[in-house]
Amino acid sequence: MVHNPKWLQITIYALLAFWLVIALFPLYWMITLSFKNLVLITTGPFFFPWIDYSPVTLGWSDLFESGQRNRFLTAMRNSLICAIGSGLLSLVLGSMAGYGLSRFSYKVGIWRNRDISFFFLSQLILPPAAVILPLYILFVESGLYDTLFGLTLLYTVVGLPIVIWIMRDQFNSLPVELEQAALVDGHSALGAFLKIATPIAAPGMVAAFILVVIFSWNEYLFSAVLTSRTSYTLPQLVATQVSSQGVKFWTMAAVGTATVAPLLVIAIMLERYIVRGLTAGAVK
Amino acid sequence: MENPAGLIPAARWQKALFVLPAFLLTFFIVIFPTVFGILVSFTSWTRTGTTLDGPGSGFVLFRLGDMVRDISEAIRSTWNGIDNFRRMAGDDAFRTALKNNLIFAFIGVPLQYLVALGLALLLNQQIRARKFYRVVFLLPFMISPIAIGWMIGKAMFDARFGPFARIARELDITLAFYDTGFKAVSWLIVISAWYAIPFVMVMLLAGLQAMPGEIFEAAKIDGAGRWRTFVDMTFPLLLPVSLTAVILRIIFEFKLIDIIYVVTGGGPGDASQTLSLYIYKDGYLSGNIGYATALAEVFLIFVIVVISLLLVTVGRKIRSLY
């Protein structure tokens, strides 16, 4: 490590502090808004609760006590089910595909392992808007429209490329000898995968699972088009609030805060895994 | 990284068992609808005018025949040949959206990269509480773009009630963030960057930390200054990760919709609209499914062409660097 002179060290901390403000102030502003009312917002801007204004809980009581309560709790429940469901499902399917592509040798027509991996990875390129309307027609016709099952299935597919990428990378980095020994002991390939490989691949699985959960929790377009009255998720609730509430900032801020809070907690606790997932295969 | 493929022998059905479920699900949920969309793009299908019988009751697979008949009847009755594509050729909103897509990808992403590179270099210095900064700087990337759109685009950039309102009043400036197309697109680039910078930063930081420390010690002994060390060693060594991160960001920036939808709704007029947003507004909200699906297919081809060009040119560069 190269040691910095004092002036440089001070500049570094100043820049870090500057970016802390950039990264955190919008969140801070939203949280303070959720504790304001019409008077406080229109006569402001006020920045410091208890110092230049006294906080009120109007937004939060709007959310948990009066009219919004049912819609909010439904959206929260739907988001939880979709996020965890698609996380688990894509983890199971993606780990298996990642394991297969890492350990077996495939030859389907002219397709080999590399081509199959590329096929899955290339799904990342597809913009959701490019398939959303045909998907809408097919969902309506097949009865998947406005069901949590349909949305979860869709999020699973969108999450698959990243799970396969992370898990293939994870299995590639693990020694194969233990599994070979298990085969000699009479286990099947599936047995070796389940009993030997998956337990030591846990870090990659955690990383992949979290990334899919984050995606599903935050996704808007699919949820907006493919659900309506029963299966809407939190981002959809936020978006409809924006267009329907005008300057009812306090409720909006409370909804926004409640939407982002769970992921912020996850990020703070599991940062290591998130970074691991994001950088999988990128650094050699 | 060496690929140990083929090290585990398995029967055909076993190999299929591992990959087929993921493949089939991807096929039915993504590939099939995309191909089906080609048919829809030659119709004047509308959300209200073209009704489907819906699922009815019973298990889906037993009614596949009904579904196929239902959909093919709808397509036959709304078929309008290449009308949609002819209309697209003269559609200004389409051209603006395409242009905005390119601006967000090829102006927005390089800006994200520059800031992220600065942050990654800062975090790679000898600093206290590095972990704290790393976690906090990652947070914007965890937040739903819809929430970000409201939080920054609406709540902070509010002319009357935002945090800048008092300063503006005292300086007698009238704040307006989105009143022209140029301003709207510029602020949307800023908001999108706030969301995306952590991702690029994390990639670059991983690249920096994977670099062997000895060569920097050697450079120091040779008397190389900070700037020379950065230009001659750090930056070139970081190039593969940089290009990977930038290409991934461009891919995702092409999908940009949620932030714009919440912040400007595509306005003023259609000035800050991207193709994704145009497809959503015209196809779903206005219900012109036929025309918007034609837009979607053209959009898909456009994205595939641009990304393929990037992968062929830049991707080859990345591979030669590894």
User: pLDDT by residue (tens digit) across B56-93?
Assistant: 665 666 678 888 888 888 888 889 888 999 999 999 99
Provide φ and ψ at A53, rounded to 5°.
Answer: -155, 160
Q: Is the Cβ of A178 closer than 8 Å to some Cβ of chain B?
A: no
Alpha helices in chain A (DSSP H): 6-33, 38-43, 58-64, 68-103, 113-122, 128-142, 148-172, 177-184, 189-191, 198-200, 202-218, 221-226, 234-244, 249-278
Per DSSP, the three-state class of A256 is: helix
Q: How many CB atoms lie within 10 A of CB B280?
A: 27
The answer on pLDDT for A246 being more than 70 is no
Cα maximum dimension of chain A: 76
Q: Is the Cβ of A108 closer than 8 Å to some Cβ of chain B?
A: no
* CA quadruple A226, A228, A232, A234: dihedral sign: positive
Question: CA B278 to CA B270: how far, in whole Å?
Answer: 9
How far are the Cα atoms of A117, B139, B316 from residue B311, in angstroms, in the given order? 16, 29, 7
The answer on pLDDT for A239 being more than 50 is yes
pLDDT digits (tens, 9 = 90+) for A42-57: 777 888 888 787 788 8
Using the beta-carbon criterion (under 8 Å), do A127 and B255 form an inter-chain contact?
A: yes
CB pairs < 8 Å spanning A and B = 335
Provide φ and ψ at A112, rounded to 5°.
Answer: -115, -175
> How many Å lie between the alpha carbon of B157 and the closest alpha carbon of chain A?
10
Q: B9 or B99: which carries more pLDDT confidence?
A: B99
For tokens 């906090």, what's the residue?
A: B136
Q: Is the Cβ of A162 closer than 8 Å to some Cβ of chain B?
A: no
> How many Å lie between the alpha carbon of B165 and the closest alpha carbon of chain A?
7
Chain B positions in Cβ-Cβ contact with residue A217 (cut-off 8 Å): 144
The answer on pLDDT for B273 being more than 50 is yes
**Prediction ipTM score:** 0.92
Chain A positions in Cβ-Cβ contact with residue B54 (cut-off 8 Å): 140-141, 143
Confidence band, pLDDT 50/70/90 cuts, at residue A68: confident
Using the beta-carbon criterion (under 8 Å), do B3 and A102 form an inter-chain contact?
A: yes
Q: What is the mean pLDDT of chain A?
A: 89
Question: CA B214 to CA A76: how far, in whole Å?
Answer: 51
A:31-90 residues touching chain B, CB 8 A cutoff: 33, 41-42, 44-45, 47
Question: CA A74 to CA A67: how far, in whole Å?
Answer: 13
Question: CA B126 to CA B138: how far, in whole Å?
Answer: 19
> How many Å lie between the alpha carbon of B99 and the closest alpha carbon of chain A?
16
The answer on pLDDT for B316 being more than 90 is no
pLDDT digits (tens, 9 = 90+) for A160-180: 999 999 999 999 998 888 888
Q: What is the mean pLDDT of chain B?
A: 88
| β-strand partners of A200 | none
User: Which pLDDT belongs to residue B284?
Assistant: 92
The answer on pLDDT for A135 being more than 90 is yes
Q: Which residue of B has its CA nearest to A280?
A: B203
B:164-203 residues touching chain A, CB 8 A cutoff: 164-166, 194, 199, 202-203
Q: Is the Cβ of A256 closer than 8 Å to some Cβ of chain B?
A: yes
The answer on pLDDT for B2 being more than 70 is no
Are residues B53 and B67 in contact, defined by beta-carbon separation less than 8 angstroms? no
Using the beta-carbon criterion (under 8 Å), do A123 and B30 form an inter-chain contact?
A: yes
Q: Is the Cβ of A127 closer than 8 Å to some Cβ of chain B?
A: yes
Using the beta-carbon criterion (under 8 Å), do B18 and A129 form an inter-chain contact?
A: no
The answer on pLDDT for A247 being more than 60 is no
Q: B208 or B318: which carries more pLDDT confidence?
A: B208
Confidence band, pLDDT 50/70/90 cuts, at residue B184: very high
pLDDT digits (tens, 9 = 90+) for B236-272: 989 989 999 999 999 999 999 999 999 999 879 899 9
User: Which pLDDT belongs to residue B198?
Assistant: 97
Chain B positions in Cβ-Cβ contact with residue A147 (cut-off 8 Å): none
Nearest to B143 among A128, A142, A260 (CB): A260
Question: CA B264 to CA B271: how far, in whole Å?
Answer: 9
Question: CA B245 to CA B232: how far, in whole Å?
Answer: 21
> How many Å lie between the alpha carbon of B311 and the closest alpha carbon of chain A?
11
Radius of gyration of chain A from its Cα atoms, rounded to whole angstroms: 24
Q: Is the Cβ of A260 closer than 8 Å to some Cβ of chain B?
A: yes
